[in-house]
Structure 1
Amino acid sequence: MKQHYQVVIIGGGTGGIMTAAQLLNHDSSMKIAVIEPAESHFYQPAWTLVGAGAYEMQKTERKMSSVMPSGVTWIKDYATTFEPENNAVNTRENGSVSYDYLIVSPGLQMDLDGIEGLREALQTESVCSNYIDPEKTYRVLQNFKGGNALFTQPATPIKCGGAPQKIMYLAEEYFKKSGVRDQTEVIFATPGSVIFGVQPFKQTLEEVIRRKRVHLKTFYSPYKIDPVKKEVYFKYTKQDEGGCVINEDENVIREHIEGEMTFVVPYDMLHLAPPQSAPDFVKQSPFAHQEGPSKGWMDVDKFTLQHSHYKNVFGLGDVCALPTAKTGAAIRKQAPVVVDNILEMMKDNKLSDSVYEGYSSCPLVTGYGKMVLAEFKYDNVRDSDPLLSKFMDTSKEKWALWVLKKHGLPYLYWNRMMKGRM
């Protein structure tokens, strides 16, 4: 039986649920389907705190049925392929679902084969990732007895770009509490050129790095892990360099060079963000960029979020090729733009005046009870909330921002965002 809906939404994550709720708040009679196979919905921003033993994992999980807006048809299935010329989505079990408008918001996927040896390394008790199992991260911290504590991230786009360094700041404080900090070298290796790209947050974080005595390694792109030798191989990506150089007098982390452009760093514990990509069914679809640096990610206009070719198709959230950070805060600003555009197209067959300016935010936890709130938009321009900024400088470490992260934001997420009310 062919099913048809005014709006079909792919994904029951933050973007899908929030957009469905907002559409129904405008028109409760609208016929909307959400295609989502998962039974659970997770509040992933709290996983950093779970990894540091400061939040309970079960508090981040709710049944998908409890967040699915009333009035939505939940198709509990996997989307497999798209037929945009026929305005249809094919599913694994439920056949074809057709639409007037399509919103693609399935998030992204972990690519565990994107770094050689990563899949095997994650089976060991010294390698962990908050992106996969934050409770294991906390076990690794508890069992760590000193040595190299290495934190790194891949060259691919990742969700919540600040997460790999947040757990590092918390871990450093945890090592103090557990009495092993003096026997520990904390290392942060990033493919990027700086610790953070937006001022004045960059300056604050550089001060945190110095205070915590972190070995910051820039232009380090991980490509291989040897879980037996407990070593990570990094390509040195800085251009116009004659090759890798190590200052032997300061080489307390025992790294060594292989060839001209490879650093090898040993670890006693390793936390990393895995490489990430758009889900396969998007990568292989007509909606994805076919070439270039954004290949595989969804091709949308960065201001309207409308697909560049299929005008009744919109993208939302982590799956999109947008020059800003992939966060829930970004989705909070993207969803109303998609909603306004679809409502205006239904009414007058044209886009609304709403535009997405690239807003995203990164709540950068710098220790237990300390946080910096980095808010920015396209071109790395600071875009801090004017109301919040009246009461505090969000570029400085604040206890009040930690309280916001741990208690305020989860409440707003479940009770406001998921209801389409912000």
Structure 2
Amino acid sequence: MSQKQQNMIFDVLIAGGGSAGIGLAASLKGRDKALKIAIIEPSEEHYYQPSWTLVGGGAFNVKDSRRNTKDVMPAGITWIKDQIVNFNPEQNEVIISHGEPIKYKYLAVATGLKLNWDAIPGLIDTMGKNGVTSNYSYAYSPYTWELVKKMKSGKAIFTQPPLPIKCPGAPQKALYLSCHEWEKRGKLKDIEVELNNAGGALFGVADFVPPLMEYVKKYNATLNFSCNLISVNGPEQKATFAVKDAEGNITQVEKSFDMLHVVPPQGPQECVKGSPIADAAGWVEVDQHTLQHTRYPNIFGLGDCCSSPNSKTAAAARKQVVVVAENLMACRSNQPMPLKYDGYGSCPLTVENGKIVLAEFGYGGKLLPTFPWLINPLKATKLAWLLKKHVLPWLYWNAMLKGREWLARPFEN
């Protein structure tokens, strides 16, 4: 990037070039091709992360989830390939690692969240070996499938850290797909399966718990709640959990495993957490309906970095892109913001290879099915599986990242 570009004030600066950031840039360009838009994004590779659950279940090629960032950047966008260090909203600028601060008229923050692999002692040293894996990684999701294929007996433990995390259903998706494969091969009866969940419920929206419990029982899996992974000894294949009882007392319990599927603790990116745009928990502080910052009206937030209390999924980001694009354009024209985000999120719960419970919901656990006449949201269906495996990846690359907003618009005010 030239010095001239660095000194330019962008009409819209987008912090983060993941799903939400690139989707927003494309949507804004579709509304006004003359907009000067820049994206700050250090990574040269872009991933369709929702497919990694299927990779771990042997139903998707991991290589199909990765593309070069330059190939998914919308035309006419300035790509600033650098790391964000901090935000200076009083001066309308973003501080980067190299070069002068980048100035803006409007800022959209889409930095995503951080996977804190190093928060669990021993985990990094043993990832991808000793039976320790995770579908939350491009590098390790294929190892999940290797372990599932090889396992004939023993103990398989699946973990879920405290919320918020990306796609809260993903930890149990790994369990279901693994169990389905073992059942198919007649090995499930010889494998002890546990889900150790730091939270207190199988799923945050109560309507979906009964259909999921049918599969928990079918696979004879043990559910342990208030049970949080705190350390891993890979060579000895032992995992230590902090277990909280009804009175709030915490004891440490060590468990042996043959396979351990870990979901790392997650939190805000460092550049957001310590900045003026963060709330007390470190997330970008936005109005949950307009997605406008609560203190800086020329700043919006979207995607996993937001303080809005929705499920952090790609489907949520897809809806948020439209809300931010419309509301930001309205603000530029001194018009009332037309759209409200309803908290929509989607979690296609892969209960077996070939069937999915398509959980779609908004704020307060309200059910928001897109195709209620076609797909029963409370039943495991083959149609939902076909949607997840074939349609959604295509929509991601060819619609969301291209600014096409099919079925992405929420209800207007």
Q: Give the letter aligned to residue 319 of structure 1.
A: C
Alpha-carbon displacement from aligned partner over 1:248-271 (angstroms, at most 9, x marks no partner): xxxxxxxxxxxx623322211000
Distance 1:123 1:172, change over 3 A: closer
Other structure's SS at 1:235 match? strand
Residue 374 of structure 1 pairs with residue 381 of structure 2: no
Say what the alpha-carbon RMSD is for the aligned residues: 1.6
What is the match of residue 247 of structure 1?
Answer: none
**In the TM superposition, what are the counterparts of 1:76-155 in structure 2 within 5 Å?**
76-122=81-127, 124-132=129-137, 133-155=140-162
How many residue pairs match? The answer is 398
Amino acid at match of 1:315: G
Which of 360, 364, 368 is the equivalent residue of 1:383? 368
Q: Which residue of 1 aligns with 2:266?
A: 276
Which of 297-306 and 139-148 deviates more? Answer: 139-148
Identity of aligned residues (%): 40
Provide the secondary structure at the position in 2 that maps to 1:65: helix
Candidates 375, 399, 408, aligned match of 2:382: 399
| Residue of structure 1 equivalent to 2:403 | 420
The one-letter code sitting in structure 1 at the alignment partner of 2:231 is K
* More deviation, 117-126/13-22: 117-126
Q: 1:222 aligns with which of 226, 229, 245?
A: 229
Deviation (angstroms), 1:373 = 0.4
Tell me the CA shift for residue 317 of structure 1: 0.6
Q: Which residue of 2 aligns with 1:21?
A: 26
> What is the DSSP-based 3-state SS (H/G/I as helix, E as strand, rest coil) of the residue aligned with 1:390?
coil
The aligned counterpart of 1:256 is none
**Equivalence for 2:320:** 334
Of 56-65 and 169-178, deviating more is 169-178
CA distance in 2 between counterparts of 1:392 and 1:70 reads: 36
TM-score by length of 1: 0.91
Pairing partner for 2:180 from 151, 173, 176: 173
Partner of 1:250: none
Amino acid at match of 1:126: G
SS of aligned partner of 2:104: strand
How far has the Cα of 1:231 moved from its partner?
A: 2.2
Secondary structure of the 1:389 match is coil
Displacement of 1:178: 4.3
Q: Report whether the alignment pairs 1:304 with 2:287.
A: no
Q: 1:363 aligns with which of 328, 344, 348?
A: 348
Partner of 1:253: none
Post-superposition CA distance 1:125-170 (Å, at most 9, x none): 3100011221121222233232110001111421011111101101
- TM-score, normalization: structure 2? 0.93
Q: Deviations over 1:51-87 (max 9, x none)?
A: 1111111111112112111111111111112111110
Q: Secondary structure at 2:204's aligned position in 1?
A: coil
1:352 to 2:298 alignment? no
Mapped partners of 2:33, 2:161: distance in 1? 43
Q: Specify the code of the residue in structure 2 equivalent to 1:270.
A: L
Unaligned runs of 5+ in 2: 406-413
Q: Which amino acid aligns with 2:298?
A: N
Asked if the contact 1:342–1:351 (Cα under 8 Å) also holds between the matched residues in 2, the reply is no
- When residues 351 and 117 of structure 1 are mapped into structure 2, their CA distance, relative to the original with a 3 A threshold, is farther
SS in 2 for 1:261: strand
Is contact 2:130–2:235 with CA below 8 Å preserved after alignment?
Answer: no
SS of 1:391's equivalent in the other structure is: coil
**Corresponding letter in the other structure for 2:255:** V
* 8 Å CA contact retained: 1:23, 1:339: yes
Residues 225 and 233 of structure 1 are in contact (CA less than 8 Å); yes or no, is this contact kept in structure 2? yes
Separation in structure 2 between the aligned mates of residue 178 and residue 287 of structure 1, nearest angstrom: 52
